[in-house]
Amino acid sequence: MPDGTSATGEPLVRIRGAAKRFGALTVFENVDLDVHESEVVVLIGPSGAGKSTLLRCVNGLERLDGGTIDIGGERLGYRESALNRMRRHVGMVFQNFNLFPHMTVLGNVTCAPAKVARRPYREVEEEARGLLDKVGLADKCDVYPSSLSGGQRQRVAIARALAMHPRLMLFDEPTSALDPELVGEVLDVMRALAAEGMTMMIVTHEMRFARRVADRVVLVADGGIAEQGPPETVLDAPRTARARDFLRAVLEH
Ligand SMILES: Nc1ncnc2c1ncn2[C@@H]1O[C@H](COP(=O)(O)OP(=O)(O)OP(=O)(O)O)[C@@H](O)[C@H]1O
Ligand SMILES: [Mg+2]
């Protein structure tokens, strides 16, 4: 993936005319979205609107039915070799942690850089310990995921994604499976990542987090992007009736 995309003003992620269908269901169409280097874009919207599907299209877990996605100036293709190359630069964190249960915390974090990127183990391990320290889990290197809390597991999942040196991080409701008292520790790690300049696309229902951390909020609804803009516009003074309806529903909930 070529570097220097920001120098040319090119977005890191450029989505044009994206369409996704499942059989007769059109999830979205005509989606245009740019994400620039170091930008934090928060996707919100009603259940079933296609937020997860859009993120999954960005890292090639789902295939578009129309339109294009470019990452770092490179067209997302669907041949295995191209997908694997692209995925090394795109980290994804899901709702349900997806850690390897038979590996220790350290094993989970070192696995991809050692095996997929084939970097020297000693270097990978040292960096993994540093990443686990960064997410507050330096003392958990040798335990198995089953002995961790949900918030700890999710922080391991973030460290594991970071170990591949991604240029882009995708988060799909990373806190929605957590007990309320564990949400903050995961959001704090994400906020620190944003402050370091990580480019992120985040699906979340945490409106306070969106308000504080998002550069841009994108409302996905009615088969496309219904509204987007800075959080103080989309969340506090939405221009569309669709956004007002959605926010009212969220607040009532
Ligand atoms: N693999 C699939 N096969 C068929 N339909 C699917 C598939 N994945 C998603 N869908 C449908 O596509 C639509 C969008 O789903 P998606 O999971 O992207 O929504 P979402 O915005 O992430 O919702 P939520 O907030 O509930 O997570 C839904 O109607 C869903 O049922
Ligand atoms: Mg979803």
Testing ligand 1's pocket by substitution, the residue of 43, 52, 172 carrying the most ligand atoms inside 8 A of its CB is 52
The CA 51 to ligand 2 mean position distance, Å, reads 5
Rg of the Cα atoms in the chain: 18
Coil, strand, or helix at residue 51? Answer: helix
Q: What pLDDT score does 116 carry?
A: 83
Residue list, CB under 5 A from ion ligand 2: 52
Contact 71, 18 (CB under 8 A): no
Would you give the DSSP letter of residue 204?
-
pLDDT given at position 167:
96
Domain ranges of the chain: 36-57+77-252
Q: What local confidence, expressed as pLDDT, does residue 4 receive? A: 38
d(Cα 6, Cα 107) in Å, to the nearest integer? 34
pLDDT at 3: 41
Give the pLDDT score at 244.
95
Rounded to the nearest angstrom, the distance between the alpha carbon of 53 and the centre of ligand 2 is 7
First and final CA of the chain: distance in angstroms?
42
Q: Which residue owns the Cα nearest ligand 1 atom 24?
A: 47
Pocket lining for ligand 1, CB < 6 angstroms:
22, 25, 27, 45, 47-53
Q: Exposed, middle or buried: residue 15 (CB in 10 Å: 0-12, 13-18, 19+)?
A: buried
The atom number, within ligand 1, closest to the CA of 173 reads: 27
Q: How far is the CA of 120 from the centre of ligand 2 (A)?
A: 36
DSSP 139: G
Write the residue with the smallest CA distance to atom 31 of ligand 1: 48
CB contact set of 191 (below 8 Å; sequence gap of 6+): 209, 212, 213
CA distance 23 to 42: 28
| Nearest protein Cα to ligand 1, atom 2 | 22
For the beta sheet containing 224-229, the strands, ordered from the edge strand earlier in sequence to the opposite edge, are 90-93, 168-172, 199-203, 40-44, 216-221, 224-229
Q: Which residue lies with its CA nearest to atom 4 of ligand 1?
A: 22
**Residue pLDDT tens, the chain, 253 long:** 444 344 557 999 999 999 999 999 999 999 999 999 999 999 999 999 999 999 999 999 999 999 999 999 999 987 888 888 888 899 999 998 789 999 999 999 999 999 887 899 999 999 999 999 999 999 999 999 999 999 999 999 999 999 999 999 999 999 999 999 999 999 999 999 999 999 999 999 999 999 999 999 999 999 999 999 999 999 999 999 999 999 999 888 7
Taking alpha carbons only, the member of 79, 83, 112, 66 closest to residue 1 is: 83
36-57+77-252 to CATH, choices 3.40.50.300, 1.10.3720.10, 2.60.120.1440, 3.30.360.10: 3.40.50.300
**pTM of the entire predicted model:** 0.94
Strand (E) positions, the chain?
Answer: 13-22, 25-35, 40-44, 66-71, 74-75, 90-93, 168-172, 199-203, 216-221, 224-229
Going by alpha carbons, the residue nearest to atom 8 of ligand 1 is 53
CA distance 168 to 190: 13
Ligand 1, atom 26, lies closest to the CA of 47
Pocket test for ligand 1, best of 53, 65, 92, 206 (most atoms within 8 A of CB): 53
Q: Which two tokens stand for residue 222?
A: 């009615």
Are the C-beta atoms of residues 178 and 148 closer than 8 Å to each other?
no
pLDDT of residue 88: 84
